[in-house]
């Protein structure tokens, strides 16, 4: 791990890439002079000037030294002390979703259920949704707001209050949750395409495999919340709906290219790519409008029949070969969901449980009070070993009638369902997860696995270990996305294997409302004020960036935009990697990393995952000219105690492959 101990100015580097002479006969096309150039080279050296000829960096050093690279036609930029750094790598983004579609969009704004109703009614008018047509709503803040009321006890009731004549479907801003009104639930179709309404009866029959993903009340009736693959029962087109994969893809990507340049992102991995969207990326390069180096993490198979993996990978190999001659677009990655997400719903009765699989069973917290008057709290836990719970576990059908449930709650203060041990689920059967990792590695793909909770992390890391020699032999990468929770043993193993962890660092910011949806189900906390207890498993192992870094793992940046926000907001993410605080609460201070480690995660480490660290990721002679200039010096901010100002950083200039693709001064 590199550390900057002092400002080092490289006074002269005159050797041209591939030349053995110090003589410089050719002037540069562009010179950035009088800057604070953070090179991310082996010593994190600081230079004053950089010269670019064509797509290559030909000089990094002092203002005095760069003078000999200035010719009659050289464009000279006086950086006036601005910080310059390598272009940003975003190694987990859904790029088409980073630009605004013409659809109802809540922009992650939290609303109570009462307040949500008029907002969505206005969408029906603004977007001229006719009777019987779908109202599709994006960026619903599923984890913030949504306080129920006496009249509107759940999200289904809220959406029914918007309209009973329109099927309504909300996509959570995390990419995993959704909500539906009664009409939408009635339009569900099973895997054979037969229309069967989602209700208490069908959840115990046709849709029994989807029960963990559909929120229900005490009587088993859906309350509107729906997540993961259960969404496909109602809307089979969530890629197109939420991730911008519909409409005029060429226009969408033209706007994406401009946005990436303005955000300082010069390399990205799109974490869900279909053959159709891959073709659109190819056309973007063909139109010479691309502003980034691109890897497609191709979508996983549509079913989990292990015997069909080979056929799926054969199709992906053909696509990889088809795009092998492209300069910027590569189709050499695959994406696999090993698990889902960790949020439960404390405000439901009984509380809805998290979905992602945990190494240990989830706790069963008892909540009470009202969120509006701040009396909402965790008041206890269900002892699943007590006699009454043993009875429920032995004879669950005896406790399913409304009358029996009401009597049970009155007597015990919790619901019969809370007596049933539950540890979450994987996104696929474990055998499929392991087989896909192995077969994709053998096929020469860079394997990227969504593993958010500790059980999925363990399985993915174990399988990565088994095929590491194959991956190393083929020169492919092994990476995990998110890693919200990882057992200490697996953190160490990640380091030993040198696995890349693509953290969405901005998620490491604390939010008491969010943590209330997660922590009480994992640790027995003594009320909401005990959420951030450093003795608890979650707080010790949440987003374990520093532990993984010190163990030898590779820290990498991945925004996951449009999840949470359409803006990839790299500097908010970078700040969170260092700060992990809202100014009052810190989300595990032991896992903070320093500014130099963080910048590496956003630059050279991403280049290592892409396999092009010899070409980009640092500002060095001979490398491609991918670099950005910033409105403020983020290193000095971090080193002078002003870390909380890093998020305000703006990109002033972006150079991609030697070309200026964004210049704030021109806007």
Residue 381 CB: number of other CB atoms within 10 A?
A: 15
In three-state secondary structure terms, 278 is: helix
Distance CA 132, CA 573 (A): 41
Token pair for residue 324? 């092998």
In three-state secondary structure terms, 535 is: coil
For every residue of 72-122, DSSP letters joined together read TT-EEEE-TT-EEEEPEEEEEE-GGGGS--SSEE-TT--B-HHHHHHHHHH
Does residue 227 or residue 13 have the better pLDDT?
A: 227
Cβ atoms of 94 and 561 within 8 Å: the answer is: yes
- Band of residue 592 on the pLDDT scale cut at 50, 70, 90: very high
The pLDDT tens digits of the residues spanning 7-31 come to 333 333 333 333 333 344 689 999 9
Q: What is the rounded average pLDDT of the residues 50-54?
A: 98
Judge if pTM exceeds 0.85.
yes
The pLDDT tens digits of the residues spanning 466-514 come to 999 999 999 999 999 999 999 999 999 999 999 999 999 999 999 998 9
Pick the most confident of 9-13, 405-409, 550-554. Answer: 550-554
Which strand ranges, in their side-by-side order, compose the sheet holding 30-33?
56-61, 49-53, 30-33, 75-78
pLDDT value of residue 25: 61
- Band of residue 210 on the pLDDT scale cut at 50, 70, 90: confident
* Owner of token pair 């955000």: 263
Q: Given a cut of 90, is residue 638 above it in pLDDT?
A: yes
The pLDDT tens digits of the residues spanning 158-181 come to 999 999 999 999 998 887 789 999
Task: Lowest mean pLDDT of 132-146, 218-232, 238-252, 391-405, name the range.
Answer: 238-252
Instruction: Quote the mean pLDDT of the chain.
Output: 92
- Band of residue 4 on the pLDDT scale cut at 50, 70, 90: very low
Distance CA 577, CA 649 (A): 15
pLDDT value of residue 3: 38
Q: Exposed e or buried b for every residue in 224-245, given b needs 16+ CB within 10 A?
A: bbbbbebbbbbbeebbbbbbbb
Could you tell me what percent of the chain has a pLDDT over 70? 96
Cβ atoms of 344 and 353 within 8 Å: the answer is: yes
Please write down the HEC assignment for all residues of 2-22.
CCCCCCCECCCCCCCCCCCCC
DSSP-based helix, strand, coil % in the chain, nearest 5:
35, 20, 40
The pLDDT tens digits of the residues spanning 84-114 come to 999 999 999 999 999 988 889 898 899 999 9
pLDDT value of residue 347: 84
Q: Which domains does the chain have, with CATH numbers?
A: 30-86+619-666 (2.30.40.10), 100-242 (3.10.310.70), 262-275+290-339+427-561+570-598 (3.20.20.140), 365-419 (no CATH)
pLDDT value of residue 211: 85
* Owner of token pair 């599709």: 136
Alpha helices (H) along 475-569: 488-497, 512-516, 537-541, 545-551
Distance CA 53, CA 623 (A): 11
Q: What is the rounded average pLDDT of the residues 65-86?
A: 96
Computed on alpha carbons and rounded to an integer, the radius of gyration of the chain in Å comes to: 26
Distance CA 206, CA 193 (A): 12
């Amino acid at each position: 791990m590199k550390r900057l101990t002092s400002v080092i100015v490289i006074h002269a580097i005159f050797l041209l890439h591939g030349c053995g002479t110090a003589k410089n006969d050719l002037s540069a096309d562009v010179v950035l002079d009088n800057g604070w150039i953070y090179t991310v080279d082996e010593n994190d050296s600081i230079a004053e000037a950089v010269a670019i000829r064509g797509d290559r960096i030909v000089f990094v050093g002092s203002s005095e030294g760069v003078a000999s690279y200035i010719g009659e036609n050289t464009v000279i930029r006086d950086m006036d002390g601005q910080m310059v750094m390598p272009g940003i790598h975003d190694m987990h983004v859904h790029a088409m979703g980073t630009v605004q579609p013409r659809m109802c969009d809540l922009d992650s704004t939290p609303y109570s259920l009462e307040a949500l109703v008029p907002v969505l009614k206005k969408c029906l008018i603004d977007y001229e949704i006719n009777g019987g047509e779908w109202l599709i709503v994006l960026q619903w803040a599923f984890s913030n707001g949504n306080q129920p009321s006496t009249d509107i006890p759940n999200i289904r009731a809220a959406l029914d209050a918007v309209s009973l004549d329109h099927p309504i479907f909300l996509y959570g801003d995390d990419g995993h949750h959704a909500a539906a009104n009664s009409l939408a639930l009635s339009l569900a179709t099973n895997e054979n395409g037969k229309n069967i309404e989602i209700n208490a009866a069908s959840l115990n029959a046709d849709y029994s495999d989807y029960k963990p993903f559909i929120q229900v009340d005490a009587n088993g009736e859906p309350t509107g919340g729906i997540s993961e693959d259960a969404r496909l029962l109602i809307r089979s087109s969530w890629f197109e709906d939420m991730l911008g994969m519909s409409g005029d893809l060429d226009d969408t990507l033209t706007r994406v290219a401009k946005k990436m340049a303005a955000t300082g992102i010069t390399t990205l991995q799109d974490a869900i790519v279909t053959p159709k969207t891959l073709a659109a990326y190819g056309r973007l390069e063909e139109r010479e409008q691309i502003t980034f180096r691109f890897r497609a993490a191709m979508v996983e198979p549509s079913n989990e029949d292990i015997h069909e993996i080979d056929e799926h990978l054969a199709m992906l190999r053909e696509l990889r070969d088809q795009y092998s001659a492209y300069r910027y677009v590569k189709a050499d990655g695959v994406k696999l969901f090993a698990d889902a997400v960790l949020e439960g719903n404390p405000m439901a009765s009984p509380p809805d449980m998290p979905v992602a699989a945990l190494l240990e069973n989830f706790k069963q917290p008892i909540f009470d009070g009202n969120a509006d008057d701040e009396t909402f709290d965790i008041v206890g836990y269900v002892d699943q070993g007590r006699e009454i719970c043993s009875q429920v576990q032995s004879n669950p059908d005896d406790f399913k009638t409304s009358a029996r449930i009401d009597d049970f709650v009155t007597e015990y203060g919790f619901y019969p369902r809370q007596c049933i041990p539950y540890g979450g689920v994987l996104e696929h059967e474990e055998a499929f997860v392991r087989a896909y990792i192995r077969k994709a590695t053998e096929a020469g793909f860079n394997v990227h696995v969504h593993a958010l909770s500790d059980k999925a992390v363990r399985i993915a890391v174990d399988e990565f270990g088994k095929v590491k020699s194959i991956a190393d032999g083929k020169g492919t990468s092994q990476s995990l996305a998110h890693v919200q929770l990882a057992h200490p043993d697996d953190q160490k193993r990640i380091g030993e294997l040198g696995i890349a962890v693509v953290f969405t660092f901005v998620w490491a910011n604390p939010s008491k409302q969010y943590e209330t949806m997660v922590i009480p189900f994992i640790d027995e906390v003594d009320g909401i004020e005990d959420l951030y207890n450093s003795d608890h498993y979650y707080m010790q192992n949440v987003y374990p960036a520093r532990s993984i870094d010190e163990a030898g793992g590779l820290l990498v940046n991945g925004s996951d935009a449009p999840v949470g926000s359409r803006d990839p907001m790299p500097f908010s993410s970078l700040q969170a990697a260092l700060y992990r605080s809202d100014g009052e609460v810190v989300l595990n201070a032991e896992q903070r990393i320093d500014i130099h480690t963080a910048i590496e995660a956003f630059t050279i480490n991403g280049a290592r995952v892409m396999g092009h660290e010899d070409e980009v990721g640092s500002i060095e002679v001979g490398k491609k000219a991918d670099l950005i200039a910033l409105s403020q010096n983020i290193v000095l901010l971090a080193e002078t105690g002003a870390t909380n100002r890093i998020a305000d950083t703006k990109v002033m200039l972006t150079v991609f492959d030697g070309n200026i693709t964004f210049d704030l001064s021109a806007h």
